[in-house]
Structure 1
Amino acid sequence: MTLPDGKKTVGCKWVFTVKYNSDGSIERYKARLVAKGFTQTYGIDYSETFAPVAKLNTVRILLSLAANLDWPLHQLDVKNVFLNGDLEEEVYMDIPPGFEDKFGSNVCKLNKSLYGLKQSPRAWFEKFTYSMKKQGYIQGQADHTLFTKFSQDGKIAVLIVYVDDIVLTGDDIVEMTRVKEKLALDFEIKDLGSMRYFLGMEVARSKDGIVVSQQKYILDLLKETGMSGCRPADTPMDPNAKLWEEGSVPVDTGRYQRLVGKLIYLSHTRPDIAFSVSVVSQFMHSPFEEHLEAVYRILRYLKANPGKGLFFKKTSERNVSIFTDADWAGSVTDRRSTSGYCTYVWGNLVTWRSKKQGVVARSSAEAEFRAMAQGICEGLWIHRVLEELEMKIELPLKLYSDSKAAISIVHNPVQHDRTKHIEIDRHFIKEKLDAGIICLPFVTSSQQTADILTKSLARPTFEHLIGKLGMIDIYAPT
């Protein structure tokens, strides 16, 4: 057809790839027509592009539930995922290379999404959501990629999607079989069987629980950086190291950013490096040799135990525990504090975070308050996810802090002079405390698990806290 007035075309190209088998032999040759989405104009051939993907925090919650309730974990893969979406906008594309002589000055009008278009991920997710809701599934509000269906006898089927990777679990085996058959009719689905490898994470299961690690990812990273033969380090960061914004010799910014980016992805299964990765990621805009040395120290630590990962074990606990801590004025560059929290669902670590606070705290109690507020927000989100799954939750949620001053201020709001500058956080925490949603038990600093997320520690303390995080190495020699 000819191009209508006021419209523009999107370019396209052919992409040729080779897909290999695990033994290195060629499985098939692939040719794909890809649109040049960078030529699209907002308001003409695309509008909204945002598409949700599964939160890895939600995936870890499901792994903890699956380990405790003996749920099976099935993995599905959608072939040619972005070709399934229906376009809402009018998108016109140039004639594919090699067909110009046949079609002359005509253009193509796209009825379905195509690889490369800005709105393709969103179009696919909307099509998938419509298919799931039509089958009676309820879309989660805490995580929009989570779909649940409850049967009349109280059983549940749970599905979570990350672009074209789908994890299916629950105790309703009949429904799980049925939904796989229905999805195979609506889309081109490949059943990968039991969950073994998901988003670069290796999943191993036994009668004792589930272990998630990234050994292959780490070994590939060490090989890529030439660190395969390096001397291992005991901890990811020197306890006495202080990194300033300025250094002696600047280094390649692009290479530094790629390295740190890979470490950020690795920290999805390695909470033991969360703090050190948080520190080195603060210098992405202008890295120096000292910062790169800190990155190499993390790699040397990973060389010592590449197979270490999270262990989701079966427990009798049915509660949610939160540990929060803050390192007051710990940053030598701007004296901002570092917040850290980690949460446990039914006895297993599912979420954690290490982050420098946005403003300078005027007291250690203020720094602790900010960390507590972040931990409570995370706990409330987990509580909401578990409610949507209709899982048993013991209230109040336990939030462990090693700051007696912060706990005292929450229970005694009369201390005005000490709390004027943290009024919002104090009222937020007090509201949840009065409602019985949380309680604030005191924990000693030596037992504060979140301490590993706020500062670099000496080896004995570091190894003690790693044990409390529930990390094991199934590849270690016995």
Structure 2
Amino acid sequence: MKDMGEASYILGIKIYRDRSKRMLGLTQSSYIEKVLKRFRMEHSKRGALPMRHEIKLSKKQSPKTDEELKRMSDITYASAVGSIQYVVQCTRPDVAYALSVTSKYQACAGEAHWSAIKNILKYLRRTKDTSLIYGGGELILEGYSDASFQSDDDDAKSLSGFVFKLNGGVVAWKSSKQDTTADSTTEAEYIAASEAAKDAVWMKNYIQELGVVPSSAEPVVIFCDNNGAIAQAKEPRSHHRSKHILR
């Protein structure tokens, strides 16, 4: 085994360090440039947001005529989703929500869905140099959870999202559709917080095994912006609106 020195790239992720500031950064700018060229978006306009607020996607926008089916069959929608997924998984939590919304239409993608994917690529073109930065923050793991109530136009299900920070940078994140249909914003937020708590338990155990974070023995704080969900988590009394929740 030969020591090749400090790593500068790993799996398409550039690693850079500033020892004077005790900072480390991760970026996928080169990989994003390759993705843009693959889908002929390297000269596109630069998007301001990964998904515009007014965009509403559903299966109703899937191809209906033979002409539309033929046109969409020539578009590598699933390949684009997979390419963006790798960016989201490694360094770009800011694109997680947009991808979770668009990825479910891989088997029935229409023009509107493809337009939303291209909008993500335009945003990545503008922000290709965005990095995850670590250093300067406290070695305390903390999480944030949120939910969008019944935002799926196809089945009225809600979306969960959470993010965890450590040492000034984001270390874990997720955006996904909930398995059950929530009947209220409180229930949707409670489900999202529950999903975040599951990840928090795993990360806490993992960090304790590493033995490098002094605060790993302390409880992980998860922030939630719904008073009803917070009350339910702190004092889970029996209630007819939450009797289906197993504790």
The TM-score with structure 1 as length reference comes to: 0.48
What is the alpha-carbon distance in structure 2 between the residues aligned to residue 301 and residue 230 of structure 1?
Answer: 10
Measure how far apart 1:333 and its partner are. Answer: 1.3
1:276 aligns with one of 98, 110, 133 = 98
- Match in the other structure for 1:393: 215
Report the CA distance shift for 1:345/1:232 in structure 2 as closer, same or farther (over 3 A).
Answer: same
Q: Give the letter aligned to residue 196 of structure 1.
A: S
Measure how far apart 1:415 and its partner are. Answer: 4.2
Report the CA distance shift for 1:334/1:253 in structure 2 as closer, same or farther (over 3 A).
Answer: farther
1:246 aligns with 2:69: no
What is the alpha-carbon distance in structure 1 between the residues aligned to residue 135 and residue 238 of structure 2?
Answer: 43
Measure how far apart 1:193 and its partner are. Answer: 1.7
Unmatched 5+ stretches in structure 2:
none
Report the CA distance shift for 1:330/1:266 in structure 2 as closer, same or farther (over 3 A).
Answer: same
Aligned 8 A contact 2:16 2:24 in 1: yes
Q: Counterpart of 2:128 in 1: which secondary structure?
A: coil
- Match in the other structure for 1:407: 230
Q: Give the letter aligned to residue 296 of structure 1.
A: K
What is the alpha-carbon distance in structure 2 between the residues aligned to residue 219 and residue 416 of structure 1?
Answer: 53
- From the CA coordinates, give the structure whose radius of gyration is larger: 1
What is the alpha-carbon distance in structure 1 between the residues aligned to residue 139 and residue 43 of structure 2?
Answer: 44
Aligned 8 A contact 1:409 1:415 in 2: no
- Match in the other structure for 2:44: 230
1:288 aligns with 2:110: yes
1:418 aligns with 2:241: yes
Q: Counterpart of 2:163 in 1: which secondary structure?
A: strand
Aligned 8 A contact 1:246 1:288 in 2: no
- Detail structure 1 runs of 4+ shifted over 6 Å in the superposition: none
1:353 aligns with one of 174, 182, 188 = 174
Q: Counterpart of 1:416 in 2: which secondary structure?
A: coil
1:314 aligns with 2:146: no
What is the alpha-carbon distance in structure 2 between the residues aligned to residue 412 and residue 418 of structure 1?
Answer: 15
Q: Give the letter aligned to residue 11 of structure 2.
A: L
2:145 aligns with one of 324, 330, 333 = 324
Report the CA distance shift for 1:277/1:192 in structure 2 as closer, same or farther (over 3 A).
Answer: farther
Output one character per residue of 1:248-292: Cα deviation in whole Å (capped at 9) or x when no partner.
434127711111100000112111111111111111111111111
Q: Give the letter aligned to residue 219 of structure 1.
A: E
- Match in the other structure for 2:122: 300
Q: Give the letter aligned to residue 389 of structure 1.
A: L
What is the alpha-carbon distance in structure 2 between the residues aligned to residue 414 and residue 304 of structure 1?
Answer: 48
Report the CA distance shift for 1:414/1:253 in structure 2 as closer, same or farther (over 3 A).
Answer: farther
- Match in the other structure for 1:200: 12
**Structure 1 vs Structure 2 CA RMSD:** 1.5
Q: Give the letter aligned to residue 258 of structure 1.
A: S
1:218 aligns with one of 32, 39, 42 = 32
Q: How does 1:445-456 map to 2 (within 5 A)?
A: none
Aligned 8 A contact 1:253 1:286 in 2: no
- Match in the other structure for 1:460: none
What is the alpha-carbon distance in structure 2 between the residues aligned to residue 343 and residue 193 of structure 1?
Answer: 30
Output one character per residue of 1:181-212: Cα deviation in whole Å (capped at 9) or x when no partner.
xxx2xxxxx54321100011011111221110
Q: Give the letter aligned to residue 411 of structure 1.
A: K
Q: Give the letter aligned to residue 104 of structure 2.
A: Q
What is the alpha-carbon distance in structure 2 between the residues aligned to residue 406 and residue 397 of structure 1?
Answer: 17
Q: Give the letter aligned to residue 233 of structure 1.
A: G
Q: Counterpart of 1:421 in 2: which secondary structure?
A: coil
Measure how far apart 1:396 and its partner are. Answer: 2.1
Aligned 8 A contact 2:135 2:167 in 1: no
Aligned 8 A contact 1:319 1:347 in 2: no
Q: How does 1:424-463 map to 2 (within 5 A)?
A: 424=246, 427=247
Q: Give the letter aligned to residue 347 of structure 1.
A: G
Q: Give the letter aligned to residue 206 of structure 1.
A: D
1:335 aligns with 2:156: yes
Aligned 8 A contact 1:386 1:393 in 2: no
- Deviates most, 389-398 or 299-308: 389-398
What is the alpha-carbon distance in structure 2 between the residues aligned to residue 271 and residue 413 of structure 1?
Answer: 31
* Higher strand content, 1 or 2: 1
Output one character per residue of 1:391-450: Cα deviation in whole Å (capped at 9) or x when no partner.
31252211100010011122333342121122x2xx2xxxxxxxxxxxxxxxxxxxxxxx
The TM-score with structure 2 as length reference comes to: 0.90
